[in-house]
Amino acid sequence: MKTVRIANGQGFWGDSVDAPLHLIAGGPLDYLGMDYLAEVTLSIMMRQKLKNPAAGYATDFIDFIRRALPQLVAKNIRVVTNAGGLNPKACREKIFEVARALGVSGFKVGVVEGDDLLTRLPDLLARGHQLKNMDSGLPLAPLLSHVTSANAYIGAQPVAEALAGGALIVLCGRVTDTALALGPLVHEFGWAADDWDRLASGTICGHILECGAQATGGNFTRWWEVPELWKVGYPIAEVEASGSFVVTKHPGTGGLVTVDTVSEQLVYEMGDPKIYITPDVTADFTSIRLAQDGADRVRVSGIAGGPRTPFLKISASYLDGYKAAGQVTVSGPRALEKARLAADLVWKRLERAGVVFAPEDCATEFLGVSGVLPGILPAPVDPPEVVLRLAVRDADRAKVDRFGKEIAPLVTAGPPGVTGFAGGRPKAQEVVAYWPALLAREEIERTIEVSVEAIE
């Protein structure tokens, strides 16, 4: 029986740079998914691309290719990634450049384009697509001049098409995280575009894999039971044509694959379990069956799905003012009282300088005394030390920068025992806010382009 082995070696941009290398070296693998895009990453890439037309993709992926390419070619491990960002063709050129430097040839790279809608927004709005915010219901048009990126989440079919064209590496932009797994499965098993149960199985497989080590013992409630987390094995799915699959990891790695670790990853950011909507299918998480299938092996089966929706999700980002955060550490005795005084000093000194923030635009946290879970755990009455963290946001950059200048004076003009003010004054950062919307899928599907090129 044919089994396809798909791994995830990168759960987000910033994840372990060595994990994908260990996956390649640690045992057999057919596909490796690599996720680099968070909701606002594309906004950062847009700015890079405006400065340099050859930029706008995940440069960490190039570092990975430099280390892994000879092995990928030798073992025919195919990589599917969203690292292409806003410039997958430039990313492909860079990969070819790296390959030539390494003396590696005889492979193809596929590019999926059509998710980038930024230049199409005026036309879409003019033709009556309001792109209303899915949370607030507000229309996008008034914010158009502040929009820094707009991308559609596209699905698994273009990925499968690139693989059918012989690509060893498929570079996408804003493809769904789950499509990094579903694309290869559609290609390998030829699942029909309306085979909802199997498409849902591949989607849920992608959901389990997409956060890397979170399926194999990372971020697990009973962390003390996880062996050798320092060398945690990233997740691998062994998928059968029926859609049923086993979640596992390479032998000799650390971590844990049990019904409990997989269950936790299934409920992670799940939303409404009956309608998990992707461009390819609507998956039903209430149909999933889990069973332990030996050590570090969990069988996932029984998955049902329903038809895809007529819409694709759009993820736009826009500039929404500025923010800054700064912190100091306050020692005891009477650490909390001193930290409260220090916070008070900052806000009063700012007020005297004429810099006032709306209540919802400033935050005071006492970390170490229920700072991140206020109202849940009883705070110690007299903790030995406290981290005071202050943050503000405002449309006016000058106000936010002025706030940044009021932290350091606490060291000499505050209570005693204030330390840990390092790294200079907090500077105003642009707030890149996120705008989710829906758009009729035909608008996007007619402009999706897949191209596969071999290295010369």
Query: Shortest Cβ distance from residue 362 to other proteins (Å)?
Result: 7
CA pair distance 294, 292, nearest whole angstrom: 6
What are the C-alpha distances in Å from 374 to residues 95, 158, 330, 369? Answer: 48, 46, 19, 8
Query: Shortest Cβ distance from residue 15 to other proteins (Å)?
Result: 15
Cβ atoms of 390 and 362 within 8 Å: the answer is yes
Q: Which of 214, 174, 195, 211 shows the shortest CA–CA distance to 84?
A: 174
139-151 burial code (b ≥16 CB/10 A, e <16): ebeebeeebbbbb
Cβ atoms of 318 and 433 within 8 Å: the answer is yes
What is the DSSP track for 194-246? T-HHHHHHHHHHHHHHTTGGGGTTTT-TTGGG-TTGGGBPPPEEEEETTS-EE
What is the DSSP track for 8-32? EEESSTTS-SSHHHHHHHSS--SEE
Nearer to other proteins, 270 or 398 (CB): 270
Q: Would you count residue 453 as binding other proteins (CB under 8 A)? A: no
CA pair distance 393, 358, nearest whole angstrom: 9
Q: Would you count residue 319 as binding other proteins (CB under 8 A)? A: no
What is the phi/psi pair of residue 95, to 5°?
-65, -45
Q: Would you count residue 401 as binding other proteins (CB under 8 A)? A: no
- Which member of 433, 447, 453, 455 binds other proteins (CB under 8 A)? 433
- Which member of 34, 90, 171, 288 binds other proteins (CB under 8 A)? 288
Nearer to other proteins, 338 or 389 (CB): 389
Binding region for other proteins (CB under 8 A) out of 5-13, 99-107, 216-224, 236-244:
216-224
Q: Would you count residue 134 as binding other proteins (CB under 8 A)? A: yes
* Binding track, positions 40-59, relative to other proteins; x by CB under 8 A: x-------------------
- Which member of 75, 222, 231, 427 binds other proteins (CB under 8 A)? 222
Q: Would you count residue 271 as binding other proteins (CB under 8 A)? A: yes
Q: Would you count residue 286 as binding other proteins (CB under 8 A)? A: yes
Binding region for other proteins (CB under 8 A) out of 82-90, 142-150, 236-244, 272-280:
272-280
Count of residues near other proteins by CB under 8 A = 52
Residue 417: burial class (beta carbons within 10 Å; 0-12, 13-18, 19+): middle
* Binding track, positions 354-373, relative to other proteins; x by CB under 8 A: -------xxx-x-x---xxx
* Binding track, positions 147-186, relative to other proteins; x by CB under 8 A: ----------------------------------------
Query: Shortest Cβ distance from residue 71 to other proteins (Å)?
Result: 32
Residue 35: burial class (beta carbons within 10 Å; 0-12, 13-18, 19+): buried
CA pair distance 411, 406, nearest whole angstrom: 10
Q: Would you count residue 423 as binding other proteins (CB under 8 A)? A: no
Can you give the binding site for other proteins, defined by CB under 8 A? Answer: 39-40, 134-135, 214, 219-222, 260, 263-274, 285-290, 320, 323, 325, 361-363, 365, 367, 371-377, 389, 391-393, 431-434, 436
